[in-house]
Amino acid sequence: MKKALAFDIGGTKIYSTIIDEEGNVIGNIDKFSTPKTLDGIKEVLKEQISKYEKDVDIIAIATAGAVNNENTAVIGSTGNLPKGYYTIDFQSLSSKRVFLENDANAAAWAEYKIGASKETSVSVLLTLGTGVGGGIIINDRLLKGKSGAAGEMHFKMFTDKRRKCTCGSWDCFEAYASGTALKRDAEEMLNDKNVTTYDVIDGVNKGDKKMLEIFNRWHNDITQGVIGLANLFDPDCVVLSGSMAQFVDTEKMEKEVNNEIVTAPTSIRIAQAGNYSGMIGASLLALGGLE
Amino acid sequence: MKKALAFDIGGTKIYSTIIDEEGNVIGNIDKFSTPKTLDGIKEVLKEQISKYEKDVDIIAIATAGAVNNENTAVIGSTGNLPKGYYTIDFQSLSSKRVFLENDANAAAWAEYKIGASKETSVSVLLTLGTGVGGGIIINDRLLKGKSGAAGEMHFKMFTDKRRKCTCGSWDCFEAYASGTALKRDAEEMLNDKNVTTYDVIDGVNKGDKKMLEIFNRWHNDITQGVIGLANLFDPDCVVLSGSMAQFVDTEKMEKEVNNEIVTAPTSIRIAQAGNYSGMIGASLLALGGLE
The number of distinct structural domains making up chain A is 2
- Contacts with A136 from chain B: Cβ below 8 Å: 232
CA angle A74, A79, A82 (to 5 degrees): 70
| pLDDT above 70: residue A273 | yes
What lies within 8 Å, CB to CB, of A62 at 6+ separation is A6, A7, A8, A9, A100, A101, A102, A103, A106, A107, A278, A279, A281, A282
The overall longest dimension of chain A from CA atoms, in Å, is 58
Do the domain assignments include residue A155? yes
Confidence label for B77 from pLDDT (cuts 50, 70 and 90): confident
| pLDDT above 70: residue A253 | yes
Do the domain assignments include residue B229? yes
Sequence-ordered alpha helix ranges (H) in B133-246 = 174-177, 179-190, 197-205, 209-233
The whole-chain average pLDDT of chain B stands at 96
Q: Pick from A218, A143, A137: which is nearest to A177 by CA?
A: A218
Same domain? For B92 and B225 the reply is: no
Report the alpha-carbon distance of residue B199 to residue B189 in Å, rounded. 13
Same domain? For A37 and A175 the reply is: no
- Contacts with B146 from chain A: Cβ below 8 Å: 120-122, 234-236, 264, 266
| pLDDT above 70: residue B36 | yes
| pLDDT above 70: residue A29 | yes
| Count of CA atoms in the C-beta half-sphere (13 A) of A3 | 14
B207 to chain A, minimum CA–CA distance in Å? 25
Q: Reduce the DSSP state of residue B119 to 3 states and report it.
A: coil
The amino acid that residue B109 corresponds to is W
| pLDDT above 90: residue B76 | no
pLDDT of residue A291: 65
A18 to chain B, minimum CA–CA distance in Å? 31
In DSSP terms, B170 is beta-bridged to B164
The two beta strands, B58-63 and B98-102, are: parallel
Same domain? For B189 and B263 the reply is: yes
Same domain? For A210 and A187 the reply is: yes
The whole-chain average pLDDT of chain A stands at 96
Mean pLDDT of B154-182: 96
Same domain? For A259 and A280 the reply is: no
- Contacts with B219 from chain A: Cβ below 8 Å: none
pLDDT of residue A289: 83
Closest residue in B to A266 (Cα) is B146
pLDDT of residue A172: 97
Same domain? For B146 and B178 the reply is: yes
pLDDT of residue B94: 98
pLDDT of residue B142: 98
Mean pLDDT of A132-156: 97
For residues A268 and A238, the answer to whether their CB atoms sit within 8 Å is yes
pLDDT of residue A76: 79
Confidence label for B291 from pLDDT (cuts 50, 70 and 90): low
Do the domain assignments include residue B10? yes
Please state the pTM of the whole predicted model. Answer: 0.96
Q: Pick from B54, B60, B51, B48: which is nearest to B20 by CA?
A: B60
For residues B179 and B247, the answer to whether their CB atoms sit within 8 Å is no
Do the domain assignments include residue B186? yes
Out of A149, A172, A176, name the one closest to residue B263 (CB): A149
Same domain? For A100 and A138 the reply is: no
Do the domain assignments include residue A113? no
* pLDDT digit string, tens, across residues A177-221: 999 999 999 999 999 999 999 999 999 999 999 999 999 999 999
Q: What is the CATH number of the domain that holds A185?
A: 3.30.420.40
pLDDT of residue B8: 97
Report the alpha-carbon distance of residue A271 to residue B267 in Å, rounded. 35
Same domain? For B156 and B218 the reply is: yes
Confidence label for B115 from pLDDT (cuts 50, 70 and 90): very high
- Determine, for residues B234 and A176 on separate chains, whether the beta-carbon distance falls below 8 Å: no
HEC readout, B17-32? EEEECCCCECCCCEEE
What lies within 8 Å, CB to CB, of A266 at 6+ separation is A230, A234, A235, A236, A237, A238, A254, A257, A258, B146
Q: Quick one: angle between helices A250-260 and A209-233, nearest 10?
A: 50
* pLDDT digit string, tens, across residues B117-139: 999 999 999 999 999 999 999 99
A74, A262, A266, A267, best to mutate vs chain B, most B CBs in 10 Å = A262
A154, A231, A238, best to mutate vs chain B, most B CBs in 10 Å = A231
Out of A150, A158, A221, name the one closest to residue B263 (CB): A150
Domain boundaries, position B60: 3-107+275-288
The two beta strands, A66-67 and A98-102, are: unpaired
Same domain? For B103 and B132 the reply is: no
Do the domain assignments include residue B33? yes
| pLDDT above 70: residue B267 | yes
- Determine, for residues B149 and A120 on separate chains, whether the beta-carbon distance falls below 8 Å: no
Same domain? For A266 and A279 the reply is: no
Confidence label for B266 from pLDDT (cuts 50, 70 and 90): very high
What Cα–Cα distance (Å) separates residue B51 from each residue in B5, B39, B89, B126?
10, 18, 19, 34
Do the domain assignments include residue B202? yes
Confidence label for B290 from pLDDT (cuts 50, 70 and 90): confident
Same domain? For B29 and B140 the reply is: no
| pLDDT above 90: residue A243 | yes
Q: What one-character DSSP code corresponds to residue A124? A: E
Mean pLDDT of A121-133: 96
Do the domain assignments include residue B113? no
The amino acid that residue A160 corresponds to is D
| pLDDT above 90: residue A78 | no
Same domain? For B69 and B191 the reply is: no
